[in-house]
C-alpha cells in the first residue's frame, strides 16, 4: 500500500532496518529518510521551481505537473546534506512530445545541477549528469515508454557511483563529481506527468551488474531469475513494484515454470506476456482473487498519444502471448467507464489471449463490453485455455474470439444495461471452420446483477471482417441458467444467421433453460464428444482438468 509521508529529516530518529532495494543489493543499514504518497492532498515539504503542480486523484492520490509548455518544471524535497541514498518513485508521463522528458532527480545541489533519470520519447530511458543545465549521458537503454503508463524509476548514489533503474532493470551506471550531497526531485520538460510513492532510503548500495546492451525483452540485469520466481508488491517489500517488471525478469526463451507471486493491491498498468516468455505463472499471494487486481482503462475508441485509437485488441489490460501461462487467485479488469465517455467504440478488453495451453484457476475477469478476448495466434493456430472456478462478468459479447476455451464450474455474470428486452450477449465466437471446438460451458452458473428476465442472449456469431470461415462454436451443458436468459437465446450478428453457426445446449437447468424450437439440443451420443477433455486434448493430449 502507499506510504504515509514521513518527516524530511528522519535519519537521526529512524530505526535501521534491513531493506532489499528494487534492482539493487541489500543494504545492511538502510533507513527511511523520506516518503510521500500524497495521500494528504498537498505538496508540503516540497519546493517548487516552475510548472503547475497539484495533487490529483489517480487510483488514490498522485502529484501532477500539468503545464505542458514549460521547459524546466521542477519540484525538490529533502535535505541538501544527504549523501549516499536511493530515491525511488512511480512516474507516469501524461504527454510526452518529441522534445519532452519526465524525470526523477538525485543529489540536486542546485536548481540546475543534479543527477537525472529521464523517460524520453522514442522509447528511450537515459541516466544523466546535469551541471548548470548541461546534460552528460551516463547510460541509456531502449525500452517501451508510453504516455499513460506508470513506471518505477530509481536512482542510487553511493560515493562517486550513480546507477539508474526502470522497473527493476538497470539502465546505466557511471561515476560523477557533480556533488557529494544533495536533495531529491522530480522534473518535466515540455511534458505533463504524475508522480507517486516517492521514497528515499539511506545507504545507496549498488550492485556491480553492467547495464543492458540489448532491448528490454532480453534477460534482465535486476532480480531474479535466480530461483525462477519473483514477488511483486506495491509497497516495495517484494522484488518488483509492478507486474510488468516481474514479467520482464523472465529470461527470453524460458523453458521452465517461472512463478510471479503478487501481493495484495491494485496494479494499474498494462501487462504483456510476450511470446518468447512461456511458462509464466501469476499467483495471488492471499488465495483470495479479490485481493490482487490488475487493471487498466483503455477502450477501443480511446485516443492514442500518437494519433488514432487503440482498437479492440489494443484496449486489453493484459495480453498473453506466451504459451503455458497460468493464473491463480487474482483479478484481471478493464476499468473503462462507459458512462463517462462517448467514443462510439467502447469495447474494453480485460484479457486478450493469443497463446496455447493456458490455465486460469479462481480468476475474476471484470469489464463490460468484450471483457474476455480468447483468441489464438493466427487463423490456423489453436489457442486452448482451461478456466476453472472462474468469474466472468460483462454485458455485450463478453466472452469472444476464435480460441478453444473450457469454462468449468464458473460463474458467468451478465450486467444490466437498463433494458427491459436486450441486456446483451454472453458469447461472440469466431471459431474457424476447421476447428470443431470453440467455447464449452460445463457445470457453470449464469447469473445477473439486475438484468430483466428474458433479456440476455447466450450468443451470436462473430465473423471478423466478414470472414465466412469463422463459424462460431459454443456449447452450454449441465449448467444453471438464470431467468435473464432468453427463451430464444441465440441471435444474428452483422447479417450472419445464428442458425449457420454451431450453437447448442445439453441438460441445462434453471428458469432460463426452457427448451424451445430456437434452442438446439445435443443428443446423449453427441454430448459424449463435447467434453472438457475433448475440447482441450489437441494433438498433444493436453488434459489440465481436475
Q: Is 370 one of the annotated active-site residues of the chain?
A: yes
**pLDDT value at position 134?**
83
**pLDDT at residue 30 in the model:** 45
How many CB atoms within 10 Å of residue 222?
25
43-58 per-residue burial string, b: 16 or more CB within 10 A, e: under 16 = beebeeebbebebeeb
Give the C-alpha distances (Å, rounded to integers) separating 493 from 41, 459, 496.
49, 9, 5
Q: Are 95 and 72 in contact (CB under 8 A)?
A: no
CA trace torsion 283, 289, 292, 293 (10° rounding): 120
Of 196, 239, 397, 408, catalytic: 397
Residues linked to residue 155 through DSSP beta bridges, in sequence order: 87, 164
Return all residues near 419 (Cβ < 8 A) that are at least 6 apart.
Answer: 452, 455
The CA–CA distances, whole Å, from 261 to 209, 229, 247, 363 equal 25, 8, 11, 14
Q: What is the pLDDT of residue 12?
A: 31
> Which pTM value belongs to this model?
0.62
Domain with CATH 2.160.20.10 in the chain: 267-537
What pLDDT, on a 0 to 100 scale, did the predictor assign at position 9?
Answer: 32
Question: How confident is the model over 418-459, as pLDDT tens digits?
Answer: 999 999 999 999 999 999 999 999 999 999 999 999 999 999
- The pLDDT of residue 138 is 82
- 296's grid cell: 487498466
What is the number of other CB atoms lying within 10 angstroms of the CB of residue 488? 13
Kindly state the cell numbers that stand for 105: 532527480
Q: Within 291-341, where are the H helices?
A: 311-314
- What is the C-alpha separation between 483 and 113, in angstroms, rounded? 68
Q: How many helices (H) and strands (E) does the chain have?
A: 4, 40
Nearest by Cα to 151 from 274, 261, 241: 241
Q: Count other Cβ atoms within 10 Å, centred on residue 257.
A: 13
Choosing from 36, 79, 197, 370, the catalytic residue is: 370
CA–CA distance, 299 with 262 (Å, rounded to integer): 26
- Tell me which residues of the chain have a pLDDT lower than 70: 1-31, 203-227
254 by DSSP, 3-state: which? Answer: coil
State residue 203's pLDDT score. Answer: 67
Class of domain 267-537: mainly beta
CATH 2.60.120.560 in the chain: give the residue spans.
17-202
Q: Print the SS3 string covering 36-86.
A: ECCCCCCCCCEEEECCCEEEEECCCEEEEECCCCCCCEEEEECCCCCCCEE
Residue whose grid cell is 491463480: 328
What is d(CA 29, CA 33) in angstroms, rounded to the nearest whole number?
A: 12
pLDDT at residue number 37: 86
Three-point CA angle 479, 354, 166, nearest 5°: 120
Fold adopted by 17-202: Jelly Rolls (2.60.120)
Residue 195: name the closest of 62, 350, 317 by CA. Answer: 62
The residue written with cell numbers 500500500 in the block is 1
Amino acid at each position: 500500500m502507499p506510504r504515509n509521508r514521513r518527516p524530511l529529516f528522519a535519519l537521526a530518529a529512524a530505526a535501521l532496518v534491513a531493506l532489499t532495494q528494487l534492482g539493487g543489493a541489500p543494504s545492511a543499514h538502510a533507513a527511511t529518510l523520506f516518503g510521500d504518497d500524497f495521500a494528504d492532498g498537498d505538496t508540503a515539504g516540497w519546493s517548487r521551481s516552475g510548472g503547475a503542480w497539484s495533487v490529483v486523484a489517480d487510483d488514490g492520490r498522485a502529484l501532477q505537473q500539468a503545464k505542458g509548455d514549460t521547459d524546466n518544471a521542477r519540484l525538490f524535497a529533502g535535505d541538501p546534506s544527504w549523501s549516499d541514498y536511493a530515491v525511488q518513485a512511480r512516474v507516469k508521463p501524461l504527454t510526452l512530445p518529441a522534445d519532452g522528458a519526465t524525470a526523477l532527480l538525485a543529489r540536486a545541489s542546485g536548481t540546475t545541477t543534479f543527477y537525472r533519470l529521464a523517460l524520453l520519447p522514442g522509447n528511450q530511458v537515459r541516466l544523466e549528469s546535469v551541471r548548470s543545465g548541461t546534460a552528460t549521458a551516463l547510460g541509456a537503454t531502449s525500452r517501451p515508454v508510453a504516455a499513460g503508463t506508470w513506471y518505477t524509476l530509481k536512482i542510487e548514489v553511493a560515493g562517486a557511483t550513480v546507477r539508474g533503474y526502470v522497473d527493476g532493470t538497470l539502465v546505466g551506471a557511471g561515476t560523477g563529481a557533480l556533488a557529494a550531497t544533495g536533495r531529491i526531485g522530480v522534473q518535466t520538460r515540455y511534458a505533463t506527468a504524475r508522480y507517486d510513492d516517492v521514497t528515499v532510503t539511506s545507504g545507496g548500495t549498488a550492485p556491480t551488474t553492467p547495464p543492458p546492451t540489448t532491448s528490454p525483452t532480453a534477460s534482465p540485469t535486476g532480480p531474479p531469475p535466480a530461483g525462477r520466481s519473483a514477488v511483486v508488491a506495491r509497497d516495495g517489500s517484494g522484488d518488483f513494484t509492478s507486474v510488468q517488471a516481474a514479467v520482464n525478469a523472465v529470461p527470453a526463451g524460458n523453458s521452465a515454470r517461472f512463478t510471479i507471486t503478487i501481493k495484495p493491491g491494485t496494479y494499474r498498468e498494462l501487462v504483456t506476456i510476450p511470446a518468447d516468455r512461456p511458462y509464466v505463472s501469476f499467483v495471488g499471494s492471499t488465495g483470495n482473487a479479490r485481493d490482487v487486481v490488475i487493471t487498466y482503462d483503455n477502450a477501443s475508441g480511446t485516443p492514442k498519444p500518437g494519433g488514432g485509437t487503440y482498437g479492440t485488441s489494443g484496449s486489453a489490460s493484459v495480453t498473453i502471448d506466451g504459451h503455458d501461462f497460468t493464473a491463480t487467485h487474482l483479478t484481471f479488469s478493464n476499468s473503462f467507464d462507459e458512462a463517462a465517455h462517448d467514443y462510439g467504440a467502447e469495447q474494453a478488453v480485460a484479457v486478450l489471449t493469443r497463446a496455447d495451453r493456458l490455465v486460469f484457476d479462481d480468476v475474476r475477469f471484470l469489464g463490460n463490453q468484450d471483457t474476455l478476448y480468447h483468441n489464438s495466434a493466427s487463423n490456423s493456430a489453436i489457442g486452448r485455455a482451461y478456466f476453472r472456478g472462474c468469474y466472468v462478468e460483462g454485458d455485450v459479447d463478453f466472452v469472444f474470439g476464435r480460441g478453444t476455451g473450457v469454462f468449468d464450474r464458473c460463474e458467468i455474470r451478465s450486467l444490466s444495461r437498463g433494458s427491459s428486452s436486450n441486456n446483451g450477449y454472453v458469447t461472440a465466437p469466431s471459431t474457424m471452420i476447421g476447428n470443431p471446438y470453440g467455447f464449452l460451458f460445463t457445470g457453470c452458473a449464469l447469473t445477473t446483477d439486475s438484468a430483466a428476465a428474458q433479456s440476455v442472449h447466450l450468443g451470436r456469431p462473430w465473423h471478423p471482417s466478414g470472414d465466412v470461415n469463422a463459424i462460431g462454436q459454443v456449447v452450454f451443458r449441465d449448467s444453471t441458467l438464470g431467468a435473464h436468459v432468453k427463451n430464444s437465446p441465440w441471435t444474428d450478428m452483422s447479417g450472419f444467421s445464428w442458425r449457420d453457426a454451431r450453437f447448442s445446449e445439453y441438460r441445462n437447468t434453471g428458469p432460463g433453460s426452457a427448451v424451445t424450437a430456437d434452442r438446439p439440443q445435443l443428443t446423449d451420443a453427441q454430448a459424449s464428444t463435447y467434453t472438457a477433455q475433448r475440447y482441450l486434448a489437441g494433438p498433444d493430449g493436453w488434459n489440465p482438468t481436475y
